[in-house]
Amino acid sequence: MLSKLISHEAKRMGRLLLPVFGALLILSGVTRCMEEACLAWQGKTPLWLSIPTVFLLIGALLCAMVLPASSFLLSALHFYRMTGEEGYLLFSVPATIPQQIWAKLLSALVWAIAALGILVGCVWALVLQPFDMMDQVRGNMAPDWTGTWLGFYLFLLAVLVVLALAGSFLYVYLCCAVGMQFGANRLLATLVVYFGLPVVLQIVALFAVLLAGVALAAAGVFETLVTMPPTIVYAAFLGILTIVTLLWDVVCYAVTNHLLAKRLNLT
């Protein structure tokens, strides 16, 4: 059942996102061709070519940057509808609450990662010289940051990006599940939770960081960190950040699952 739900949700999102992806790729390709045409003039590009190229470049970059947000908003809209008018149908199928959540989360992650890939590819092709720039970056890196360490950092960063994306979707699901408790005012409640909860969490996190900083300073941890190789410090920082992000994902998922399973309110 989970595979069927994922397939249904992925196709549902794809019907709207695939045309957008295709249009952006075509726009980026046309813009790149016009950039190459401008370069062929060797600094003597006429206005009839340079001005449209600049506008196309700006438009392509803006569209590419908005692209990841479109997959995020579409997934949020689908989950919000599941807690309302579509819930009577979706919750009547032989699928558990976790399967419903996972189906929406996994399909949203796939489309979000695809959108990020297209964003990076478009920006890379439009404004960068990929291979030359990568060679320069690697050449300027200290030997300690290359080799095995570089692969380890890239792996941690990839895991962190996936967990952060999942956390952004799960947080929206949490807000929708909380807003569902308020019946006719669920949209207002969802928005209040979405924008209000981060403020509370930032205040709590600020005090937690300050207390942790004082405790670590008193224990002499910072003096020890100064003497450690930067590769170890950076790896530890990424590891801690990954664990914290994972815990946030687990909390959002657990609360959402509890509200949908125990306090379902589709009125």
Note the pLDDT tens digit of each residue in 252-265. Answer: 999 999 998 888 77
pLDDT at 205: 81
The answer to whether the beta carbons of residues 112 and 68 sit under 8 Å apart is: yes
Residue 171 confidence (pLDDT):
93
Which amino acid, 243? I
Q: Which of 2-11, 180-189, 224-233 has the highest mean pLDDT?
A: 180-189
* Per-residue pLDDT, 4: 78
Burial of 264: CB neighbours in 10 Å, binned 0-12, 13-18, 19+: middle
- pLDDT surpasses 90 at 215: no
DSSP 53-82: HHHHHHHHHHHHHHHHHHHHHHHHHHHHHH
Give the type of residue at 153. Answer: Y
Q: What percent of the chain has pLDDT over 70?
A: 83
User: Stretch 230-237: mean pLDDT, rounded?
Assistant: 75
pLDDT value at residue 163:
92
DSSP state for residue 121 in the 8-state scheme: H
pLDDT at 250 over 80: yes
| 127-133 mean pLDDT | 55
Q: Predicted confidence band at 139 (pLDDT cuts at 50, 70, 90)?
A: low
pLDDT score of 247? 93
Joined tokens for residue 130: 């990929």
pLDDT at 267: 65
Going by pLDDT thresholds of 50, 70 and 90, the confidence category of residue 169 is: very high
Nearest to 11 by CA among 104, 102, 82, 148: 104
16: confidence class by pLDDT, cuts 50, 70, 90? confident
pLDDT at 238 over 90: no
- Under 8 Å between Cβ of 26 and 59: no
pLDDT average, residue stretch 60-66: 77
Q: What is the pLDDT of residues 84-103, one digit of tens each?
A: 777 777 777 777 888 888 88
Query: pLDDT at position 119, please?
Result: 81
Name the residue among 19, 17, 31, 102 with its Cα closest to residue 68: 17
pTM for this entry: 0.80
| Mean per-residue pLDDT of the chain | 79
For residues 43-56, average pLDDT: 73
Q: What angle is formed at CA 118 by the lines to CA 114 and CA 122, rounded to 5 degrees? A: 175
- Confidence band for 69, pLDDT divided at 50, 70 and 90: confident
- pLDDT for 158-167, tens place per residue? 888 899 999 9
Among candidate residues 104, 29, 19, 35, the one with its CA nearest the CA of residue 67: 19
CA within 13 Å, CB half, 117: 9
Distances (CA, A) of 137 to 115, 141, 145, 237: 25, 6, 11, 22
The length of the chain in residues reads: 267
The predicted structure's pLDDT at residue 166: 92
DSSP 8-state symbol, 267: -
Query: What pLDDT is recorded for position 186?
Result: 83
* Sign of the torsion formed by the C-alpha atoms of 121, 126, 127 and 129: positive
- pLDDT, position 71: 82
